[in-house]
A = this chain, B = another copy of it.
Amino acid sequence: MRFEKITIKDVAKALGVSTSTVSRALRDSYEIGADTKKRVLEYSQKMNFMPNQMASSLKARTSKSIGIVVSEIANSFFSQVMNGIESVAHRKGYHVIVTQTHGCNSREIANVIHLASHSVDGILISLSPGTIDVSYLKELFDKKMPLVFFDRVSDEINTHKVMCDNFQGAYDAVSYLIESGYKKIAFLGGAKHLSNIQERFAGYSEALAYAGISLNDEYIKFCEQGGLHQEESEQAVKSMLEAKPDAVLVCGDRLTATSLKYFKQNNIKVPEDLAMICFSNQDFAELLDPPLTTVYQPAFEIGGYATDLLFQMINSKSEVKKFEMKKFPCQLNKRASVGQKIILS
């Protein structure tokens, strides 16, 4: 079953004119007889004629579409980013093709190649936890495929990068915990090699250092699967708890959900037993029990901004050489999952 499309040829034949005349009438170009134009437009309208964009694209060598690569579509952060991307793209008359990797590197490569061979005009990518080698991307980029990283970026490719200020977000969160009297602060993060996790960890370390608190490895847990694997995440939560921290910074929605469930099941009271701040974009954070102190990332803005930069590259006549590293500040939403700890010493 296939869509029966009228072509410019059909319109031309029906009207007894040439295809070029139809083409010109449709794109409002060139001198063309006012009433020929009118006839063509009216007939096209009536017949619901739609120019075949694949043919136009082939001719114009531009598909008017961009590709996105994320790990999970059904993730509050990514879906908000996609919302931002789609909004900007739609405004420019572009299509958005979405692919997900489920954290798997081979899937990421397949998706990127698929996108490139389908002639997307540019690609927006957040690297998947499983990706270490980005040479396949670099090759593509060297061949001038417009490329913008968001969220999880790579040092090895020099292009635009858009993300939130993960360092600041983590630093502010941990500082706030320290101000509130907590000292044994744990860190629960995704894959260690991901840029955003590294930055958050740096912010965490720096805030502790500033307060003269030394790092304790037992408080620090990374999940190589970035919270995508339930078992790994639960194990991390468990082993973190064994070190008896009094607060924790959790990096990511999935890890947050896993932690909260675990705490609930094991009757660990937040914030009495353990204070908690999470990197999370869940709308429902303030409605949780207890309301969750979150580090909120302006996901919609990140998506929109990254897309704007991508269009700058796409529309640039020459190769773009100067790149931006844009960091949107994170917002610390203080809620009851962090209490006021009585400071003893």
Contacts and interface: CB of A to CB of B under 8 A. Distances in A.
Interface of A: 1-5, 48, 50-55, 57-58, 61-65, 72-76, 79-80, 82-83, 86, 90, 95-100, 113-114, 116-119, 121, 139-140, 143-146, 257, 260-261, 264, 282-284, 286-291, 300, 313-314, 316-320
Contacts of A291: 289
Nearest to A142: B4
Q: Say how many copies of this protein the assembly contains.
A: 2
A317 B52 CA distance: 22
A3 B65 contact: no
A282 B283 CA distance: 10
B48 A54 contact: no
Given A58-B58, A74-B76, A83-B100, A4 B144 contact: yes
A222 to B, nearest CB: 22
A287 B261 contact: yes
Contacts of A121: 2-3
Contacts of A113: 50
Nearest to A289: B289
A290 B264 CA distance: 13
A320 B98 contact: no
A5 B289 CA distance: 54
A320 B1 contact: yes
Contacts of A5: 119, 143
Contact of A53 (B50, B64, B119, B257): B119
Contacts of A283: 257
Contacts of A99: 86, 90, 95-96
A53 B118 contact: yes
Contacts of A54: 54, 57-58, 63, 118-119
Contact of A74 (B1, B63, B83, B140): B83
Given A1-B146, A287-B289, A288-B289, A95 B118 contact: yes
A79 B82 CA distance: 10
B289 A284 contact: no
Contact of A313 (B1, B52, B284): B1
Contacts of A114: 95
